[in-house]
Structure 1
Amino acid sequence: MLTVDDKNYICSLDYAMSIIKGKWKSVIICHLNRSSTRFLELQRQLPGVSQKVLTENLKELEADKIIKKIVFPEVPPRVEYELTETGYKLFEIITLLETWGKEYIKEFKINNSPN
């Protein structure tokens, strides 16, 4: 048993998966890998995500030190999000998982789908 921030996890893998759980977090990480991005740009790149859900996901990723929020001292204020060093490391792992998913779909879902 592993306890982090007063929450219990079965193991470190369980904890790691909790950081990227949900529909949007891994996709956000993939988009931020390309470049730092403003909130509305990110929202446009993620059709179907609500403003509330995107805001919550960004706050959670920031709290987990996966992304950082950069506030530029301008009027009106400009805010951008970008991956941290830890976020880039996680992106590499997500990319491996994506590759595995593509291969799995090809092997087990497309070839074995009933016609």
Structure 2
Amino acid sequence: MDLKDKKCIPCSTYVPPLSQEEKERLLKSLSPEWKLTENNSRIRRDVKFKNFKRALEFTNEVGRIAEEEKHHPEIHLGWGHCDIELWTHTNNNLVENDFIVAAKIDEAHARLYPASP
């Protein structure tokens, strides 16, 4: 099953972080714009747009996904960009939920802004 087709599992208590090998494997299933950051304890994608309106539109879609999954990223919005960082706060590291939300964000970006032919 693709990550984008999974649902996040609530983790209100400590959940062990993924191994480095698992992080790298799951990262390969995301768009190449996602990078491991903060000593491999977070994933981040910086998305560029032609104006503020599009960046805000995308930010709102990311917010909708986060609410639906009950797993919330850090989002930095500015003129022409929306920067997204995911990690699980209960363990200050990465679990599968982070990659599920990232995959759903990738799908939303592809849907809203299909590549030009």
The two structures have a TM-score, normalised by structure 1, of 0.29
Pick the structure with greater CA Rg. Answer: 1
Higher helix share: 1
